């Protein structure tokens, strides 16, 4: 449903030397800098699939989403969404997509949500019975029935985001772009929105692309992720595989039967070739290389009187974080696994 081919986007920004002197200079002799926001992005998202787009600030996530939604034009490459070229912005295309940006409100502040929805019904030409049914379902599952007639600016951030979601989904789009839909929300609201997205997916099977800085969004919603760094897709594949491919460590937690005296323990653990993450008198958490886990665990059992021992995978968010932040020369080594 969404297919991109070697998509690139270059912004031309002018380079300004700091200060007033620099401003005056740039008035006469302006230096331009080409900033490559996207390079050769090739992606495919099918119906019913949620692709999580992960990357640091300025990596190109939002640019990609905006190109796909037809808001901005790419410099080169092609996109086909439901057979349409997004930036020709045909009404037929625009009727079938939706764009939700956590940072930008689409609803009008001075109006109650329901008025905005009526306008959207007119814009999308949603037939009456279908409008009623959709609205009822959306309002019900997001639990905002009582807020429908309150002006948007009087709603809480969470309620407002829910209204934004309703506004975006009233016309049952077949392709949905979420750009940080949970930004700034409290945990309850985040969870409600996540659950809703999952339920909506089950019901309508749209193709979705989601960007977020919250790893929990990604973990809960996206079985597949694409990691974008400096405008390039450096990983595109299963979320689970990220762990297998890139996690070098596991976390070993040990609870001792007797107290380990602090004086002797650091030495003992250091000898184990492990890094201490946390330690108090009777427990310790160690970061151990994947290959050494069995050996270290064995040694622990030999040297101490262990009450309980558990081995966990490294936090997936940390792994992705590391992937995103890696230096250039290292990122060169990242291989996109075959799909």
Partner 1 sequence: MIRYLRLYGYFLQFSFSKAFEFRIDFYFRILMDVVYYIMNLLFFKVIFLHSKYLAGWSESQVMIFVGAFIVVDALNMTVFANNSWNVAQLVNRGDLDYYLVRPVSTFFFVSLRDFAANSFVNLIMAVSILVWAFMKYPEPIGLLRTLLFGLLVLNGSLLYFLVLMLFIIPVFWTHSARGLQPLFWTTSKFMERPHAIYSRVVRWVLMTIMPFALMASVPASVLFAPNPWAITLGSLLVTVAFMSLVLFIWSLGLRNYSSASS
Q: Indicate the residue among 217 and 254 with the shorter CB distance to partner 1.
A: 217
Residue 149 binds partner 1, judged by CB under 8 A: no
How far apart CA 302 and CA 281 sit, in angstroms, is 19
Please pick, from the candidates 49, 159, 179, 236, the single residue that binds partner 1 as defined by CB under 8 A.
179
CB count within 10 Å of CB 287 equals 15
Exposure string for 22-61, b = 16+ CB within 10 A, e = fewer: eeeeeeeeeeeeeeebbbebebebeeebbbbbbbeeebbb
Residue 230 binds partner 1, judged by CB under 8 A: no
Q: Which helix (H) or strand (E) holds 31?
A: strand 31-45
Q: Indicate the residue among 66 and 250 with the shorter CB distance to partner 1.
A: 66
Please pick, from the candidates 29, 88, 103, 261, the single residue that binds partner 1 as defined by CB under 8 A.
103
Residue 314 binds partner 1, judged by CB under 8 A: no
Residue 106 binds partner 1, judged by CB under 8 A: yes
Long-range contacts of 212-215 (CB under 8 A, 24+ apart): 212/52, 212/54, 212/178, 212/180, 212/181, 212/182, 212/183, 213/180, 213/183, 214/182, 214/190, 215/315, 215/316, 215/317, 215/320, 215/321
Q: Indicate the residue among 31 and 282 with the shorter CB distance to partner 1.
A: 31
Q: Indicate the residue among 75 and 279 with the shorter CB distance to partner 1.
A: 75
Residue 62 binds partner 1, judged by CB under 8 A: yes
CB of 179 to partner 1, least distance (A): 7
Site stretch for partner 1 (CB under 8 A), options 119-127, 199-207, 238-246, 294-302? 119-127
Torsions phi, psi for 181 (to 5 deg): -70, -15
CA distances from 15 to 24, 25, 57, 231 (A): 13, 11, 20, 20
CB of 177 to partner 1, least distance (A): 9
Residue 34 binds partner 1, judged by CB under 8 A: no
Q: What residues does 61 pair with on adjacent strands?
A: none
Structure tokens at 109: 């502040």
Q: Indicate the residue among 110 and 146 with the shorter CB distance to partner 1.
A: 110
Site stretch for partner 1 (CB under 8 A), options 44-52, 121-129, 197-205, 267-275? 121-129
Residue 99 binds partner 1, judged by CB under 8 A: yes
Residues 71-90 within binding reach of partner 1 (CB under 8 A): 71-73, 89
Q: Indicate the residue among 7 and 284 with the shorter CB distance to partner 1.
A: 7
Residue 53 binds partner 1, judged by CB under 8 A: no
CB of 66 to partner 1, least distance (A): 5
CA torsion angle 193 194 198 201 (round to 10): 60
Q: Do 286 and 252 form a contact (C-beta atoms < 8 A)?
A: yes
Q: Which residues bind partner 1 (CB under 8 A)?
A: 11, 58, 62-63, 66, 69-73, 89, 91-92, 94-95, 97-99, 101-104, 106, 108, 110-111, 115, 118-119, 122-125, 179-180
């Amino acid at each position: 449903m969404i297919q991109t081919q070697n998509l690139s986007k270059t912004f031309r920004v002018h380079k300004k030397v700091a200060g007033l002197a620099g401003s005056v200079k740039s008035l006469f002799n302006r230096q331009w800098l080409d900033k490559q926001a996207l390079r050769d992005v090739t992606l495919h998202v099918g119906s019913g699939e949620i692709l999580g787009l992960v990357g640091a600030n300025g990596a190109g996530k939002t640019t990609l989403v905006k190109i796909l939604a037809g808001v901005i034009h790419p410099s080169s490459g092609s996109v086909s969404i439901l057979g349409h070229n997004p930036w020709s912005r045909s009404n037929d295309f625009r009727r079938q997509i939706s764009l939700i940006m956590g940072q930008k409100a689409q609803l009008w502040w001075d109006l109650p949500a329901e008025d905005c929805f009526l306008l959207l019904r007119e814009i999308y030409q949603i037939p009456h019975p279908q409008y009623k049914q959709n609205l009822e379902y959306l309002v019900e599952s997001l639990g905002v029935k009582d807020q429908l007639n309150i002006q948007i600016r009087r709603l809480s951030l969470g309620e407002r985001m829910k209204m934004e979601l309703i506004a975006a989904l009233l016309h049952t789009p077949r392709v949905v772009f979420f750009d940080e839909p949970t930004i700034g929300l409290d945990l309850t609201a985040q969870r409600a929105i996540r659950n809703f997205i999952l339920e909506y997916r089950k019901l309508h099977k749209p193709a979705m692309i989601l960007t977020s800085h919250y790893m929990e969004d990604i973990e809960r919603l996206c079985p597949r992720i694409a990691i974008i760094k400096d405008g390039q897709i450096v990983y595109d594949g299963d979320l689970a595989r990220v762990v297998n491919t890139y996690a070098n460590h596991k976390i070993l937690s040990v609870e001792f039967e007797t107290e380990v005296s602090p004086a002797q323990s650091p030495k003992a653990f250091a000898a184990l070739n492990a890094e201490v993450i946390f330690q108090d008198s009777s427990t310790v958490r160690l970061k151990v290389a994947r290959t050494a886990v069995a050996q270290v665990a064995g040694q622990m059992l030999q040297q101490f009187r262990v009450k309980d021992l558990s081995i966990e995978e490294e936090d997936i968010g940390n792994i992705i974080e590391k992937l995103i932040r890696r230096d250039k020369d290292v990122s060169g080594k990242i291989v996109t696994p075959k799909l």
